[in-house]
Amino acid sequence: METRHNITTLPLDGKTVFLRADLNVPLKGDQISDETRITASLPTLQHLLNRGCLVLLASHLGRPKGMVKPEFSLEPVAKRLSELLEAPVHFTPDCIGAKVTEAVDSMKGKPGVILLENLRFHPGEEKNNVEFALKLAGNAQFYINDAFGTAHRAHASTFEIANLLPSAPGFLLESEIEHLGKVLTNPERPLVTLLGGSKVSSKLTVLNNLLEISDKVLLGGGMIFSFYKAQGLEIGNSLHEEGFLSQAQSLLEMYPDKLVLPVDVLTVPEISEDAPIQKVSVDQIPAGQMGVDIGKKTMDLFQTHIKGARTILWNGPMGIFEMEPFSHGTRIVCETLANLKDCTTIVGGGDSVAAVTQMGYADKMSHISTGGGASLEFLEGKELPGITVLR
């Protein structure tokens, strides 16, 4: 991707920089249950501090829909960020207005971090309102976007503000563009894609695109049962989408050698950790049972394809990994990817990132995408507003 500038070429030294990060972390009360997105923002933040910048750090959290909702406050993030940086992080109770100006003035141009309150407490954020963007930009001299997770949204803090200040992507955004972009344009082959998750509908467009560019596409998760039903197989009570059976059948006919489905699955009568498990071939799923994970023969089959790859893209778990008895397929994929040599491994999508992190393999992957919906739209080949505005 060509940009007018990158973070190292902009004259940022000693300046006030508006940094849009993605700090949309899961909160339980004031406890952060997964801080992946916070740690992912640290390299750009530390670079700006090393250059003597005063950083106005901004993010959304949750979906407050333009209203102030205390449960979506970023204040707990300020506390954790301060611990990670081993430096004070000042928190302002709003993202615009007098309180922000006072905080900036109190810093007297010295390097430091001011975390602004949730951008989405204002309706102008999601409406991409110019006046709101002007207020956000009012105290800054430069703009850096490091929030890949919201790059598919044309919001005031991801799009309009980039038209008001000299702008560039941060290190995280650049890394996402580099790794995901290479998958689309020039991957080292064989390129093997693993797609999991519950629904075909949410990934149909990206599945179509990845089937065109991949050497093999391995499917897992709940989406596989729509493909089995399209073939006329008994799927019991397994999750499926009636409206997508014809598309599933078309894909099976178009890519018979490229699309790889599981050959065996684990089934249970109900989704419960102590439910009795049956291990069955995919053409022998009993009535009244539902599939919850891929089976041992499928794990062996998938490992064969994975071990021959030079680039792997993984989006979506193989089963209901949150429950230990149904987590083995996802764990085997994690372990296999972690032990690969001379292979670029890219993990995207909230559930697969959570699985890799929880199972302790995150540092073994070449790239962990923070994108979620943005990753999928990027891999569909769509232009993302938050990226195109920086060009």
373 catalytic residue (yes or no): yes
Question: Rounded to whole angstroms, how far apart are CA atoms 294 and 305?
Answer: 15
Q: Is 37 designated active site?
A: yes
Same domain (yes/no): 221, 369: yes
Of the candidates 350, 371, 372, 386, the residue annotated as catalytic is: 350
Mark whether 65 and 194 lie in a shared domain.
no
Are residues 214 and 350 both part of a single domain? yes
SS3 category, 33: coil
Name the residue type at position 100. V
In this structure, how many other beta carbons lie within 10 angstroms of the beta carbon of residue 297? Answer: 15
301-324 pLDDT, tens digit per residue, is 999 999 999 999 999 999 999 999
> Is 350 a residue of the active site?
yes
Give me the pLDDT at residue 1, please.
42
pLDDT for residue 34: 83
What range defines the domain where residue 293 resides?
Answer: 187-379
User: Phi, psi (5° rounding) for residue 343?
Assistant: -145, 135
Among residues 199, 296, 297, 310, the one annotated as catalytic is: 199
On whether residue 9 sits in a domain, the answer given is no
Residues 158, 304 within the same domain: no
- Per the domain annotation, does 95 fall within a domain? yes
The answer to whether residues 219 and 227 touch, using CB atoms and an 8 Å cutoff, is yes
- Check which CATH number belongs to the domain holding 354 and give it: 3.40.50.1260
The model's pLDDT over 80-130, given as tens digits with 9 standing for 90+, comes to 999 999 999 999 999 999 999 999 999 988 999 999 999 999 999 999 999
DSSP code, position 333: H
**Domains in the chain, number:** 2
Does residue 389 form part of some domain? no
Q: How far apart are the first and last CA of the chain?
A: 8
169 and 191 share one domain: no
Q: Do both 202 and 345 map to the same domain?
A: yes
Assess if residue 386 is contained within a domain.
Answer: no
**Bridge-based pairing state of the strands 264-268 and 290-294:** antiparallel
Are residues 336 and 304 located together in one domain of the fold?
Answer: yes
**pLDDT tens for each residue of 21-75:** 999 998 988 899 888 889 999 999 999 999 999 999 999 999 999 999 999 999 9
pLDDT of residue 373: 81
- Region 296-302: mean pLDDT is 98
Q: Do residues 390 and 10 touch, judged by C-beta distance below 8 A?
A: no
297, 307, 373, 382: the catalytic one is 373
- 25: tokens are 């972390």
Domain boundary among 146, 173, 200: 173
Residue 48 included in any domain: yes
Does the pLDDT value for residue 3 go beyond 50? no
Residue with tokens 């790059």: 151
> Is the N-terminal amide bond of 190 cis, ω within 30° of 0?
yes
Does residue 194 lie in a domain region?
yes
Which of these is catalytic: 15, 20, 37, 203? 37
Task: Dump pLDDT digits (tens) for 219-264.
Answer: 999 999 999 999 999 999 999 999 999 999 999 999 999 999 999 9
Rounded mean pLDDT of the chain?
A: 94
Residues 163 and 224 in one domain: no
Q: Read off the pTM.
A: 0.87
Mean pLDDT of 336-361: 91
Residues 226 and 345 in one domain: yes
Residues 210, 355, single domain; the answer is yes
